[in-house]
Amino acid sequence: MRRFLPLLVAATLLAAFPAAAQNAIPEIAFDSAANLLTLPDDIYLGEVGGVATNSKGDIFVYTRTGHPTVSLGGARAFAHGGSRLFQFDRTGKFIREIGQGSYGFMFAQQVRIDPQDNIWTVDQMTNFIMKLDSAGHVQMLLGRKPEAIPVPAPAPRGDGGGAAGRGGLPGAGAQSDVFNRPTDVAWDGAGNIFVADGVGNARVAKFNSKGVFIKSWGSRGTEPGLFGTVRAIAVDAQGNVYVADSGNKRIQVFDNNGTFKTQYTNVGTPTALCITPGPNQFLYSSNSNPPEDFDVAGEIYKMKLDGTIVGKFGRAGKLPKEFGTVNAIDCRSENNLLVGEISNMRVQKLTLR
């Protein structure tokens, strides 16, 4: 018992510390342009799943909008629509819609732009990762949309479902590009593709630049290397993979082959990640509020890649400079961020001072 006591004291200290530690985190002053985007009269943004910029500063917004529809077939029912992808110039002026009516768009989850200015969309309902060139033409598809939709939907499982893949492990998924509610995509310097998969599965899948499956790692659990819910993913210049394991309230860091390196457990519930480009990289992570509660969380952390917290900013709310369930961060420029919000249905441009 005596040997356990110090441990107990340590645990108590740890439990007591986060609040104190948070007080020590500097607040980063910032401004917001909440009316950045100018929309045509007949276009309305819905919940913003993703926002990203390309090398010219054009802004891409992948949003849940319109009417997600179930239509009645013979023996099965079919689901359509509900999300759209828009392009704006750097001043927020509307340029065009991309992929209108696409089979891959139903529940906008994320959009990312790769170094060649290709546009990648991640859809949580069609399970498609779509690569479009900068002209908006489909270049590659990972995943496949379920042909039909069960009506009524089966009751959600406590563990989030997901295929019992490798060795029968829950959420491990298949050794392929069959996704279950994927959430994000990232690339390393060699062009390898990393998919966060996701809400249904609990794994990270790695493909080469041609879309050939290389490996996947993780299954549902709480140990290092396992995941609760995988919400976001980012890769640094060394090829290390940062995974927002929101279900376990931590960021896990892996090497390029999926070997666990470390984890950061002091930034709330990581929901959106972004790593800045350039030689001195920073990691942004949003402790997003849940859509049903604006009185908790909401702040975004700026960190060094080693997990040191540089500062934090923002809180949950509906005013400018407040956040409603941030789902996407664009950090092409370290101090000029774009954030996309689910429950405020908007994009804010943030200037950090």
Partner 1 sequence: MKRCLALVSAIALVLCAAPAFAQQKATAQNVPEIPYTSVPNLLKVPAGEFLGEAVGVATNSKGHIFVYHRSANTRLWEFDKNGNFVKEIGKGYYGFEFAHSVRVDAQDNIWTVDEGTNTVTKFSPEGKFLMVLGRRPPAVAGAVATPSGPNPPAQKYIFCRPTDVAWDPQGNIFVSDGYCNNRVVKFDKNGRFLAQAGSEKPGKEPGQFNLPHGLQVDGQGNVWVADRSNIRYQVLDNNLKPKTVYDNLGVGWTVCVSQGPHQYVFASNSNPNGNPPGSWAITGEIYKLELDGTIIGKFGHASKEFGGFQVVHMMDCRNPNEIVVGEIESWRVQRLILQPTPTKTSSAR
Please count the residues of the chain: 353
Confirm or reject binding of residue 92 to partner 1 (CB under 8 A).
no
60-89: which residues touch partner 1 (CB under 8 A)?
A: 63-68, 70, 77, 79, 82
Confirm or reject binding of residue 302 to partner 1 (CB under 8 A).
no
x/- string (CB under 8 A) for partner 1, residues 9-28? --------------------
In which order are the strands placed within the sheet that holds 241-245?
230-235, 241-245, 250-254, 260-264
Confirm or reject binding of residue 318 to partner 1 (CB under 8 A).
yes
- Per-residue exposure over 330-344, b if at least 16 CB sit within 10 Å of its own CB, e if not: bbbeeeebbbbbbbb
Rounded to whole angstroms, how far apart are CA atoms 263 and 144? 32
Could you please report the per-residue DSSP string of 62-102? EEE-S--EEEE-SSSEEEE--EEEEEE-TTSBEEEEESTT-
Please identify, using beta-carbon distances, which residue of 223 and 295 lies nearer to partner 1.
295
- Part of the chain binding partner 1 (CB under 8 A), chosen from 89-97, 237-245, 274-282, 344-352: 344-352
Confirm or reject binding of residue 150 to partner 1 (CB under 8 A).
yes
Confirm or reject binding of residue 154 to partner 1 (CB under 8 A).
yes
Confirm or reject binding of residue 158 to partner 1 (CB under 8 A).
no
- Closest by CA position to 145, among listed 160, 123, 162: 123
Among 28, 32, 47, 197, binds partner 1 (CB under 8 A): 47
Rounded to whole angstroms, how far apart are CA atoms 307 and 302? 9
Token digits for 106? 């139903």
Among 293, 304, 308, 351, binds partner 1 (CB under 8 A): 293
Confirm or reject binding of residue 147 to partner 1 (CB under 8 A).
no
- As measured in angstroms, the least distance from the Cβ of 4 to partner 1 is 39
- Closest by CA position to 244, among listed 189, 283, 282: 283
Rounded to whole angstroms, how far apart are CA atoms 42 and 94? 12
Give the count of beta carbons closer than 10 Å to the beta carbon of residue 150: 9
Confirm or reject binding of residue 107 to partner 1 (CB under 8 A).
yes
Confirm or reject binding of residue 298 to partner 1 (CB under 8 A).
no
Confirm or reject binding of residue 315 to partner 1 (CB under 8 A).
no
Among 112, 131, 181, 315, binds partner 1 (CB under 8 A): 181
CA-CA-CA-CA torsion sign (261, 265, 271, 274): negative
Please identify, using beta-carbon distances, which residue of 42 and 223 lies nearer to partner 1.
42
Please identify, using beta-carbon distances, which residue of 106 and 163 lies nearer to partner 1.
106
Inter-residue contact 163 to 173 (CB < 8 Å)? yes
- Part of the chain binding partner 1 (CB under 8 A), chosen from 39-47, 52-60, 167-175, 222-230: 39-47
320-339: which residues touch partner 1 (CB under 8 A)?
A: none
- As measured in angstroms, the least distance from the Cβ of 152 to partner 1 is 4
Among 23, 24, 41, 210, binds partner 1 (CB under 8 A): 41
Rounded to whole angstroms, how far apart are CA atoms 82 and 301? 31
Please identify, using beta-carbon distances, which residue of 133 and 293 lies nearer to partner 1.
293
Please identify, using beta-carbon distances, which residue of 17 and 44 lies nearer to partner 1.
44
Confirm or reject binding of residue 221 to partner 1 (CB under 8 A).
no
Give the count of beta carbons closer than 10 Å to the beta carbon of residue 259: 10
Inter-residue contact 149 to 197 (CB < 8 Å)? no
Site residues for partner 1 per CB under 8 A = 39, 41-47, 63-68, 70, 77, 79, 82, 106-107, 124-125, 149-154, 156, 181, 199, 291-295, 317-319, 342-346
